[in-house]
């Protein structure tokens, strides 16, 4: 059985390294430029998936592995995608019951860190 | 059975069915240590994803204000507040360490032991500085009154999920630093001279996985 190592030209590692830097810089820029709404959500997920894909495919050599290993490792996490969708539906329902039946504020305003103080201690203890 | 030669003639699905049903080693041409590391990383993927799904559930169901991450994790440099600065530096450090690790794997297959040692040592050093910055971040948040059960900026769930997710990731980085140093020392001491130095690649898989998890934490926890 061939136990050949994963040997590839150094050039491709440098290229991916550079790409990871660029994508990280862009995703940081999303926050720095304070983009909001669907655009922010979309850009964050796209840069995240690009980075994750390049790390797995090139740095972890998945691109060059036999399909038996790729299949064995990359298909089980699909169950996690299902879990994520199920929990998202459930959370949406739980949130709506809290708003409808418990009279919770559907859009609470976050406080700025400057206002942080310990004087409202009594408020938070109820959970 | 001739294994690797057949794959060029048949489809990937036929070859995969053949590999999995061969009543022999499933992952042909893969050192067993590497296959085991991949299976361990798969289990770790499930752990981290369950944490992140738990975070999603809290974030979606909470009716108190969630702290704005870019303000909470801002650093003041020369009087200017830069959002998420520390987290950005930590991200770049981890990517750099992934790069040095990839180089170390490449040097390993060229049997250049001292190059492997110094590259893995650099990776460990970058990893250790990452953990150091995370300690600083924890210190900052704890001194601002954030606890696993309490958060002066709003939803107390923020405190619990923050310490759990970053703590678990930081533990992985710390273990990875120790793992890197042990393997690097054993490489130069000649413990793997009879092998193809696939141990460096296996260590690399673990390290890249730590970086991979950070990609998701960075996106969901800090940028969201």
The ipTM, to two decimals, is 0.87
Regarding pTM above 0.95, the answer is: no
Residue from B41, B57, B63 to probe the interface with A (highest A Cβ count within 10 Å): B63
Query: CA triplet B134, A36, A46: central angle to 5 degrees?
Result: 70
Return d(Cα A33, Cα A62) in angstroms, integer.
34
B45 and B144 in one domain? yes
B179 and B142 in one domain? yes
Asked whether the beta carbons of residue B102 and residue A2 sit closer than 8 angstroms, the reply is no
User: With helix as H, strand as E and coil as C, how does B19-83 read?
Assistant: HHCCCCCCCCCCCHHHHHHHHHHHHHHHHHHHHHHHHHHHHHHCCCCCCCHHHHCCEEECCEEEC
Mean pLDDT of successive 10-residue stretches along chain B, which has 224 residues: 56 89 88 94 96 94 86 80 87 95 93 95 97 94 90 88 95 97 96 92 96 94 87
Query: CA triplet B15, A75, B222: central angle to 5 degrees?
Result: 145
| Min Cα separation A49/chain B (Å) | 9
Q: What tokens were used for B223?
A: 């940028």
Contacts of B57 in chain A (CB under 8 A): 87, 90-91, 94
Domains held by chain B: number: 2
| Min Cα separation A29/chain B (Å) | 10
The three-state secondary structure class of B190 is: coil
Q: How confident is the model at residue A121 (pLDDT cuts 50, 70, 90)?
A: very low
B153 and B111 in one domain? yes
Query: CA triplet A82, A73, B116: central angle to 5 degrees?
Result: 135
Q: Is the pLDDT of residue A103 over 60?
A: yes
Q: What tokens were used for A41?
A: 């959500």
Q: How far is CA B88 from CA A19, A30, B146, in A?
A: 16, 12, 21
- Dihedral of CA atoms A10, A12, A18, A23 in degrees, nearest 10, equals -150
Whether the Cβ atoms of residue A72 and residue B25 lie closer than 8 Å to each other:
no
Q: Which residue bears the tokens 């440098």? A: A14
B151 and B108 in one domain? yes
Q: Is the pLDDT of residue A127 over 80?
A: no
Return d(Cα B180, Cα B186) in angstroms, integer.
10
Asked whether the beta carbons of residue B98 and residue A17 sit closer than 8 angstroms, the reply is yes
Mean pLDDT score of chain A: 83
| Min Cα separation A42/chain B (Å) | 11
In terms of residue numbers, what domain contains B8?
1-30
Q: Which residue bears the tokens 């203890």? A: A125
Q: Which residue of A has its CA nearest to B1?
A: A1
pLDDT of res. A92: 93
pLDDT of res. A1: 37
Whether the Cβ atoms of residue B40 and residue B64 lie closer than 8 Å to each other:
no
Which among B72, B95, B208 has the least Cβ separation from residue A60?
A: B208
Per DSSP, A35 falls in state -
| Min Cα separation A9/chain B (Å) | 8
Strand partners, B81: B76
Contacts of A65 in chain B (CB under 8 A): 30
pLDDT of res. B8: 58
Return d(Cα B123, Cα B100) in angstroms, integer.
6
B36 and B126 in one domain? yes
B124 and B16 in one domain? no
| Min Cα separation A48/chain B (Å) | 6
Asked whether the beta carbons of residue A45 and residue B88 sit closer than 8 angstroms, the reply is no
Domain locations in chain A as residue ranges: 8-64, 65-102
**Which residue intervals of chain B are DSSP H helices?**
12-20, 32-61, 69-72, 85-109, 113-143, 157-188, 198-217
Q: How confident is the model at residue A3 (pLDDT cuts 50, 70, 90)?
A: very low
pLDDT of res. B115: 95
Return d(Cα B188, Cα B169) in angstroms, integer.
29
Q: How far is CA B57 from CA A19, A58, A89, in A?
A: 32, 32, 10
B96 and B21 in one domain? no
Q: Which residue of B has its CA nearest to A25?
A: B88
pLDDT of res. B200: 95
DSSP string, A4-16: ------HHHHHHH
B45 and B26 in one domain? no
- Which helix H or strand E contains A22, and what residues bound it? helix A10-32
Contacts of B9 in chain A (CB under 8 A): none
B83 and B1 in one domain? no
Asked whether the beta carbons of residue B16 and residue A71 sit closer than 8 angstroms, the reply is yes
Return d(Cα A61, Cα A47) in angstroms, integer.
20
Contacts of A30 in chain B (CB under 8 A): 223
Judged on CB neighbours under 10 Å (0-12, 13-18, 19+), A101 is: exposed
């Amino acid at each position: 059985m061939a136990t050949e190592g994963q040997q590839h030209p150094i050039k491709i590692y440098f290229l991916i390294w550079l790409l990871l830097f660029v994508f990280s810089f862009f995703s940081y820029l999303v926050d720095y430029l304070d983009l909001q709404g669907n655009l922010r959500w979309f850009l964050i997920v796209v840069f995240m998936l690009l980075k994750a894909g390049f790390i797995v495919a090139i740095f972890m050599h998945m691109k060059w592995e036999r399909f038996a290993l790729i299949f064995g490792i990359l298909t089980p996490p699909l169950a996690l995608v299902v879990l994520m969708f199920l929990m998202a539906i459930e959370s949406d329902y739980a949130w709506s019951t809290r708003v409808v039946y418990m009279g919770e504020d559907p859009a609470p305003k976050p406080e700025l860190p400057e206002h942080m103080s310990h004087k409202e201690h009594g408020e938070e203890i109820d959970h | 059975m001739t294994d690797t030669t057949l794959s060029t003639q048949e489809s990937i699905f036929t070859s995969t069915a053949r590999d999995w049903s061969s009543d022999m080693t499933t992952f042909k041409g893969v050192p067993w240590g590497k296959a085991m590391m991949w299976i361990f990383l798969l289990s770790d993927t499930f752990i981290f994803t369950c944490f992140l799904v738990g975070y999603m559930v809290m974030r979606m169901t909470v009716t108190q204000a969630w702290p704005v991450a870019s303000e909470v994790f801002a650093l003041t440099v020369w009087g200017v507040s830069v959002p998420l600065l520390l987290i950005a530096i930590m991200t770049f450090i981890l990517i750099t360490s992934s790069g040095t690790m990839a180089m170390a794997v490449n040097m390993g297959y060229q049997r250049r032991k001292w190059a492997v040692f110094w590259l893995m040592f650099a990776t460990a050093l970058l990893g250790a500085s990452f953990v150091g910055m995370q300690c600083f971040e924890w210190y900052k948040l704890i001194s601002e009154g954030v606890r696993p059960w309490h958060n002066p900026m709003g939803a107390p769930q923020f405190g619990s999920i923050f310490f759990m997710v970053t703590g678990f990731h930081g533990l992985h980085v710390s273990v990875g630093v120790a793992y890197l140093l042990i393997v690097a020392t054993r490489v130069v001491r000649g413990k793997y001279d009879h092998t193809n130095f696939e141990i460096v690649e296996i260590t690399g898989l673990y390290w890249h996985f730590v970086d991979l998890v950070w990609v998701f934490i960075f996106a969901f926890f800090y940028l969201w």
